[in-house]
């Protein structure tokens, strides 16, 4: 019985020794009792010898039986056995973790030929400096699949291959313990190492580096690299579970979402696993769904819309394959699936379409795992920042403009955030592939941006509530307010407004679909949309400009009314577009209705009302109704004195230019010339020689010289302006 407790390796020897000890003790008792001596006819030395042998057997048996228990107690294992006793009726679960390469059947990999070839060269290359490699990329990009392909290829080349899962610290510990035993460590050595009496990492790597043949160790799903580091160290130090092999015959391959070179160290080769090109993504869809789901062109279109993410392609293909086997749902083709996805991608969609349920769940789980890891690392802002970024459009996000820290900290998830902390959160998201940071090319004025995979954004939208949409609107509004008043029309700032435009367009549509739309959010986004209309008009995109302003009116008027300043501004801009396109009758009606409402709501001396009056007078000038035009411009000037100083210059100068033009049309050339010359000096001092308004005054002077017949002077000025 004593021997049976001692442990599995020693179980037979203690049992035998225990029996021997028991027999010896019984014999001693019998001899000492004198029973055999009385039965003997003639006692002899034989009985004395047998008694002594019995004493010897009993002593030896006891020593042998107790020795394993003493040895095991010295390793620290005995407390483990006592602390986890097997109680009667308790179900015992054996360790089912395997070191073999997972078998996923006939796993076909598309679009990875070049990467597989590059990895194969790394695997067999004798002169490769770094025999540790990291496959990194977005969750669902196919990193594990690629590792399985490489591992099976290594097996065919005669490598010893072991597969260890590192999704959690427990998975890694179990896998490495089994690896140590597989490599020849005794249970005594393993127990001693895993109890902390010696180094488990040193034990495993000592055995690996002594392996005689070629070998490959795959560490899969190491999305939290810290589980691979030694106690109190970083992975890059190379003294934890991940180390550079001491001999060129060994290789280590890690799969992880984290692609930060600073984490892995210079001795690791990094291989990024990108998303699939549309033609390769179409192949995945056709492999899974079959040709009944549509043409290759349709498959490519769907693959492009799903961002080429293998996980999404497999889920979509599996759904369409199921529909072929049991055709009950309305989504059975690539086109049907894409239409469902387009609808569900809109913020306005309250529920995900049933056909996209698996896709949403799969992408949601993929993202959730990443954010749980970041939260454990002390970065709780990562999840809400992902949800916020998902509220913007499917376009690069100019984060320097749209992620204003002062606005972010007004929202609870970002309280206490500062610039350094925001940088750390963005870097963490980039390391896991949630976002991609696109740096500004050298020598250009392009803005650095963030790109978000459409499916990652899709999952974030399904999670974000209206509060995140409102925060996105406030950020957009702050970015516009930070610009100069005429920034939208300034060619030097067109790159910024071009980057902001798709996000304003998207948010305006998203807010319009809320029931009911929050008025403050609607006004913030509409303000930016109006400025973008001015930007597009300055670039000559009149049709797009009209669509923007019409969208502001149609979206905002039912919520805040036709008299709201942002709606009145859009109505004014629509009238100006009609004017610019030669629709004078419609433009005059729109100007007059807007002017009446602005005067009623804001007052006759309000800058907005005076601006509409100025534009109406400009229309009269174009219609050669010079008397009406002159009265209108002079009325504007009469009210200018009632305005704050910062609202006077531009409007006053514009009206004075137009009055001078009226004088020129009436034949009053001397008065016109004197006014234009004064205006040129004022414009140059106020706005600069190269400002469009300054050059407008110069052009009017050149035109005056032209009308007078001073062709040399006019030609020289025209050429200079040009």
pLDDT recorded at residue 475? 94
H or E element, residue 644:
none
pLDDT recorded at residue 365? 72
Rounded to whole angstroms, the Cα distance separating 6 from 15 reads 10
pLDDT recorded at residue 201? 92
Give alpha helix (H) positions in 76-227: 77-83, 113-124, 143-156, 169-182, 187-194, 200-209
Burial track 660-677 (b if 16+ CB lie within 10 A, e otherwise)? bbbbbeeeeeeebbebbe
3-class DSSP assignment, residue 449: strand
3-class DSSP assignment, residue 459: helix
pLDDT recorded at residue 648? 54
The CB density around residue 22, as the number of other CB atoms within 10 Å, is 16
pLDDT recorded at residue 207? 94
Residue 591 contacts residue 616 (beta carbons within 8 Å): yes
Burial-class residue 411 by CB neighbours within 10 Å (0-12, 13-18, 19+): middle
pLDDT recorded at residue 80? 34
pLDDT per position as a tens digit, 315-326: 778 777 765 554
Residue 323 contacts residue 329 (beta carbons within 8 Å): yes
H or E element, residue 255:
strand 250-256
pLDDT per position as a tens digit, 183-214: 999 999 998 898 888 999 999 999 999 998 89
Rounded to whole angstroms, the Cα distance separating 640 from 634 reads 10
CA 176, 179, 184, 187 torsion: positive or negative? positive
Rounded to whole angstroms, the Cα distance separating 491 from 538 reads 9
Distance of CA 664 to CAs 237, 654, 705, Å?
A: 81, 15, 11
User: Which residues contact residue 83 at a Cβ distance below 8 angstroms, ignoring those fewer than 6 apart?
Assistant: none
Place of tokens 């990108």: 274
In degrees rounded to 5, what are phi and psi of residue 469? -65, -40
DSSP 364-421: HHHHHHHHHHHHHTT-TTHHHHHHHHTTS-SS-B-HHHH--HHHHTTSGGGTT--HHH
Give alpha helix (H) positions in 253-356: 261-264, 278-289, 296-305, 310-325, 334-345
Residue 538 contacts residue 578 (beta carbons within 8 Å): no
CA angle 549, 553, 559 (to 5 degrees): 145
User: Which residues contact residue 286 at a Cβ distance below 8 angstroms, ignoring those fewer than 6 apart?
Assistant: 293, 296, 299, 317
Residue 312 contacts residue 363 (beta carbons within 8 Å): yes
Q: Identify the CA nearest to 382 among candidates 369, 392, 395, 398.
A: 369
Give alpha helix (H) positions in 34-76: 35-39, 45-75
User: Which residues contact residue 299 at a Cβ distance below 8 angstroms, ignoring those fewer than 6 apart?
Assistant: 281, 282, 283, 285, 286, 289, 293, 334
Rounded to whole angstroms, the Cα distance separating 321 from 308 reads 19
DSSP 533-562: HHHHHHTT-HHHHHHHHHHHHHHHHHHH-T
pLDDT recorded at residue 146? 92
pLDDT recorded at residue 389? 93
pLDDT recorded at residue 91? 37
pLDDT recorded at residue 646? 52
DSSP code of residue 215 = E
Q: How far is CA 132 from the centre of its chain?
A: 26
Structure tokens at 397: 């996000």
pLDDT per position as a tens digit, 633-661: 999 988 886 555 455 567 888 899 999 99
End-to-end CA distance of the chain: 107
pLDDT recorded at residue 631? 95
Residue 503 contacts residue 395 (beta carbons within 8 Å): yes
Q: Identify the CA nearest to 605 among candidates 632, 575, 641, 650.
A: 641
Rounded to whole angstroms, the Cα distance separating 498 from 423 reads 24
- Say what the pTM is: 0.60
Residue 693 contacts residue 683 (beta carbons within 8 Å): yes
pLDDT recorded at residue 682? 87
Structure tokens at 643: 């305005």
CA 142, 147, 148, 154 torsion: positive or negative? positive
Residue 419 contacts residue 405 (beta carbons within 8 Å): yes
Residues of the chain below pLDDT 70: 1-97, 104-107, 126-129, 231-232, 322-331, 343-362, 440-445, 641-649
pLDDT recorded at residue 328? 45
pLDDT recorded at residue 89? 36
Give 80's Cβ-side CA count (13 Å radius). Answer: 13
Burial-class residue 164 by CB neighbours within 10 Å (0-12, 13-18, 19+): buried
Rounded to whole angstroms, the Cα distance separating 616 from 263 reads 64
pLDDT per position as a tens digit, 481-531: 888 777 888 888 888 888 888 899 889 888 888 888 889 999 999 999 888
pLDDT recorded at residue 160? 93
H or E element, residue 95:
none
């Amino acid at each position: 019985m004593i021997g049976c407790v001692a442990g599995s390796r020693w179980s037979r020897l203690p049992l035998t020794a225990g029996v021997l000890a028991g027999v010896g003790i019984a014999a001693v008792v019998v001899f000492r009792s004198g029973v055999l001596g009385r039965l003997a006819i003639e006692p002899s030395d034989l009985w004395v010898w047998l008694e002594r042998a019995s004493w010897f057997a009993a002593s030896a048996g006891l020593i042998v039986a107790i020795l394993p228990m003493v040895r095991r107690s010295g390793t620290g294992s005995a407390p483990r056995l006592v602390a986890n006793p097997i109680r009667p009726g308790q179900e015992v679960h054996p360790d089912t973790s395997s070191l073999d390469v997972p078998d996923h059947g006939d796993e076909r990999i598309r679009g990875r030929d070049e990467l597989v070839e590059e990895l194969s060269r790394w695997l067999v290359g004798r002169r490769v400096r770094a025999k540790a490699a990291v496959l990194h990329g977005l969750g669902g990009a196919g990193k594990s699949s690629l590792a399985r392909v490489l591992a099976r290829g290594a097996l065919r080349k005669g490598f010893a291959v072991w597969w260890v899962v590192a999704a959690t610290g427990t998975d890694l510990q179990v896998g490495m313990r089994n690896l140590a035993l597989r490599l020849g460590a005794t249970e005594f050595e393993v127990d001693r190492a895993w109890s902390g009496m010696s180094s488990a990492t040193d034990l495993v790597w000592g055995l690996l580096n002594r392996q005689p043949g070629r070998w490959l160790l795959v560490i899969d799903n190491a999305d939290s690299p810290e589980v691979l580091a030694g106690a109190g160290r970083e992975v890059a130090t190379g003294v934890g579970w991940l180390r550079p092999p001491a001999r060129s015959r060994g290789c280590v391959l890690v799969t992880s979402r984290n692609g930060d070179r600073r984490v892995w160290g210079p001795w690791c080769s990094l291989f990024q696993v990108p998303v699939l090109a549309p033609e390769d993504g179409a192949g995945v869809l056709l492999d899974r769904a079959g040709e009944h789901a549509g043409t290759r062109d349709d498959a490519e279109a769907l693959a492009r819309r799903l961002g080429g993410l293998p996980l999404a392609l497999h889920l979509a293909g599996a759904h369409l394959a199921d529909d072929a086997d049991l055709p009950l749902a309305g989504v059975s083709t690539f086109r049907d699936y894409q239409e469902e996805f387009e609808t569900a991608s809109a913020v306005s969609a309250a529920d995900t379409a049933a056909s996209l349920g698996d896709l949403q769940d799969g992408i949601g789980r993929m993202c959730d795992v990443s954010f749980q890891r970041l939260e454990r690392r002390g970065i709780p802002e990562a999840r809400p920042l992902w949800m916020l970024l998902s509220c913007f459009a499917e376009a690069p996000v100019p984060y320097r403009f749209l992620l204003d820290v002062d606005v972010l900290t007004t929202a609870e998830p970002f309280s206490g955030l500062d610039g350094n902390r925001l940088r750390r959160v963005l870097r963490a998201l980039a390391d896991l592939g949630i976002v991609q940071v696109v740096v500004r090319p050298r020598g250009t004025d392009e803005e650095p941006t963030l790109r978000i995979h459409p499916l990652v954004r899709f999952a974030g939208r399904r999670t974000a509530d209206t509060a995140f949409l409102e925060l996105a609107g406030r950020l957009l509004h702050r970015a516009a307010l930070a610009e100069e008043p005429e920034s939208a029309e300034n060619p030097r700032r067109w790159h910024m407004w071009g980057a902001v435009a798709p996000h304003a367009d998207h948010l305006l549509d998203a807010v319009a679909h809320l029931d009911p739309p929050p008025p403050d959010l609607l006004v913030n986004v509409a303000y930016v949309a109006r400025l973008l209309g001015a930007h597009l008009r300055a670039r000559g995109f009149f049709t797009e400009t009209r669509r923007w302003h019409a969208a502001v009116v149609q979206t905002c008027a039912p919520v805040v009314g036709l008299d709201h300043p942002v709606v009145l501004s859009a109505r004014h801009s629509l009238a100006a577009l009609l004017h610019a396109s030669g629709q004078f009758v419609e433009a005059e009606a729109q100007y007059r209705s807007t002017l009446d409402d602005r005067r009623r709501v804001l007052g006759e001396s309000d800058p907005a009302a005076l601006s509409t009056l100025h534009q109406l007078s400009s229309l009269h000038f174009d219609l050669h109704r010079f008397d009406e035009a002159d009265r209108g411009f002079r009325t504007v000037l009469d009210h200018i004195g009632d305005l704050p100083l910062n609202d006077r210059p531009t409007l006053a100068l514009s009206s004075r230019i137009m009055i001078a033009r009226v004088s020129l049309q009436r034949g009053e050339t001397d008065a016109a010339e004197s006014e234009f010359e004064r205006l040129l000096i004022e414009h140059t001092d106020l706005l600069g020689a190269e400002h469009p308004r300054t050059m407008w005054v110069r052009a009017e002077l050149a035109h005056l010289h032209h009308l007078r017949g001073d062709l040399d002077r006019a030609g020289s000025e025209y050429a200079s302006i040009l």
